[in-house]
Amino acid sequence: MSRDRKQIRTAASTVQAEQVAQQKAQQMAQRTRQAAKNASKQTRKAVKAVRAAIRHFLAALHTLTVAIIAGMSAATAVVVIICLVAFIAGSAYGIFFAAEAPDENSITVQQAVEQLTGEYRDELEHISDTVPHDRQEIETNDGVYYIRWQDVLAAFSSRVSGAADGAPIAALDEARLDELREILWDMNEVSYTTREETVEVSAQNANTEASRDTASESTANDSGARSQESNEADTTTITQTVLTIHLTHKTPEEMQTAYNFTARQAEYLTLLQDPKYETLWAELLGGFAAGDSEILTPDTTRTPTGSLQWPLPIPGSITSPFGYRTDPLTGETSYHDGTDIAAPEGTPILAAADGTVTVANALDSWGGSYGYYVQIDHGSGLQTLYAHCCQVCVTQGQQVQAGQVIAYVGHTGRATGNHLHFEVRENGERVDAMRFYS
């Protein structure tokens, strides 16, 4: 009998071991499929960017090309076009051809940007981790919280390709990466200060927020923090050390002066800053998805009380409201100047009202902790902001309609899960977005 029980236990253990091994194999296979899927996705993005570059630049040279190949044989015409492409790739426009790495010693422009963005983010987080503080905010000299990578890359490309001994940059290596890193830090200076600040917070609100287990970010813009009026008589006074990180962005024109650009380099810089290339820059770096101005019906669960409709086609769930709360990443009491709405990745984000896109960051996946984000001016002092997108599908200056798809839900920037960080500003002051819904 004991031998039978032993055999049964042995068989059970064997079955259990086989099940564990099978589960591990399934997990490994899933990871492998996901890795292959991601690699395929990146390859498609790279190919798309290269094709877009060729399309843009050959379209610009269309008239010249037609004139040159008129009357030529087909073979000669092909040679001429190949030479034109080679000429473009060897110029400052070659940066658009760096979407692919031609050999194992090269890196793509997207890989370079991701690496340097990570280094920049790490510097900001190093300051946050090593400087004692209770609350953090970020201030900028131009109201922009992300790296203007199109400006950095334009300055880099013009400086390298336009020099007297100019070199092609259709392929990047470690030496070129070092040059790009130097320009990034020259154009994006970081410093910080601290100060003491005392505020009164509703005790009831503070306790409520402390009990929440949210998945969100402490945004880069706590500078709008202020005491929240409470309907409750009981308040608690909090004295905080506020850490302010200062970002100073320099323009390509300032770098042109700082680097003593030659006439040729200055000309390249002017050409690369043409607004018609904005979409191309975004396609090159992977944060842009071409939109078709699709307009969707917003969820009606939350009824608008004013001029703003719900920014999603689904209700979502509020994981972190506006106001003081316990930060889910740091555990500290901090001011949350937006409303976090949980939604699956890829959910369309809708413009809350008609307006003009003032920020469409599809270049910097950190974005001062906002990740890819969109900001819209609706006029009469009303603005909305949509952060942590996985992709953006509008461009700066574009006119949008209420309900138009402007981006897709993701978790870029400082976020622990997929959600939309939704902000509303009235005359520059951040206000509770939920005031606009019932």
In this predicted structure, what is the pLDDT of residue 163?
A: 81
Residues 6+ apart with CB under 8 A from 204: 230, 232, 234
CA distance 332 to 340: 18
Reported confidence tier of residue 235, pLDDT bands at 50, 70, 90? confident
> Looking at the domain 317-436, which fold is it?
Glucose Permease (Domain IIA) (2.70.70)
Candidate ranges 73-87, 98-112, 239-253; pick with highest mean pLDDT = 239-253
Reported confidence tier of residue 274, pLDDT bands at 50, 70, 90? confident
Reported confidence tier of residue 270, pLDDT bands at 50, 70, 90? very high
Residues 6+ apart with CB under 8 A from 100: 46, 47, 50, 108
Helices marked H in 188-308 — which ranges?
Answer: 203-210, 252-258, 263-272, 278-285
Q: Bigger pLDDT: 164 or 74?
A: 164
Whether the pLDDT of residue 2 is over 70: the answer is no
CA distance 321 to 341: 9
Q: Bigger pLDDT: 231 or 424?
A: 424
Instruction: Write the DSSP symbol of residue 417.
Output: S
What does pLDDT average to over the chain?
A: 77
Strand locations in 278-418 (E) = 317-320, 323-326, 333-336, 339-342, 348-350, 355-361, 372-379, 382-392, 399-400, 405-409
pLDDT in tens, 323-374: 766 555 555 556 678 899 999 999 999 999 999 999 999 888 888 889 999 9
The two tokens of residue 374 are 């969109």
The two tokens of residue 346 are 């890829």
CA distance 387 to 49: 24
Residue percentage of the chain with pLDDT more than 90: 39
